[in-house]
Amino acid sequence: MSLFLSLIRDLKLDNVMLDKDGHIKIADFGMCKENMLGENRATTFCGTPDYIAPEILLGQRYSFSVDWWSFGVLLYEMLIGQSPFQGDDEDELFESIRMDVPHYPRWITKEAKDLLEKRDPTRRLGVVGNIRGHAFFKTINWPALEKREVSPPFKPKVV
């Protein structure tokens, strides 16, 4: 299965794992939808509540842009230490996802904010443009990273 032809639909912190060397692996493809080339769209309401894209909540047909939404939520959590959307129950959380603008602390860089604030599914980075060219990732040596030549900052102790 190629992830580039599929919707993951459940990208979240719980499904991002580290291998024994500290390299990231994505796990749990239970909600994955294959053969999502071209104009193919999905309509199933699925995903983990905190990471669901607004177009899913609105019952719209959607593409792989929902995975880029989830990636943005995941990145926000990793950078800021909390979810960008809040609610005491699912209804409030879903309202927050549809309507609220996340809070960006003063210390967040303009590059990080630009990466995170794309609400429109047709304008999300990864849908338009190449994420590798975004200023937030300017220090990444992509060819070396793909060859696993970049040492991860953390190596888990495997027992």
Give the pLDDT confidence score for residue 3 in this predicted structure.
46
Report the SS3 class of residue 158: coil
Least confident of 6-15, 81-90, 127-136, 138-147: 6-15
- pLDDT band at residue 52 under the 50/70/90 scheme: very high
Range 48-70 average pLDDT? 89
Give the pLDDT confidence score for residue 140 in this predicted structure.
93
Q: Is 11 in contact with 46 (CB distance < 8 Å)?
A: no
Q: Is 65 in contact with 124 (CB distance < 8 Å)?
A: yes
The residues that bridge with 125 in the sheet, in sequence order, are 128
10 is catalytic: yes
Q: pTM of this prediction?
A: 0.84
Give the pLDDT confidence score for residue 11 in this predicted structure.
83
- The DSSP H or E segment spanning 17 is strand 16-18
d(CA 79, CA 31): 26
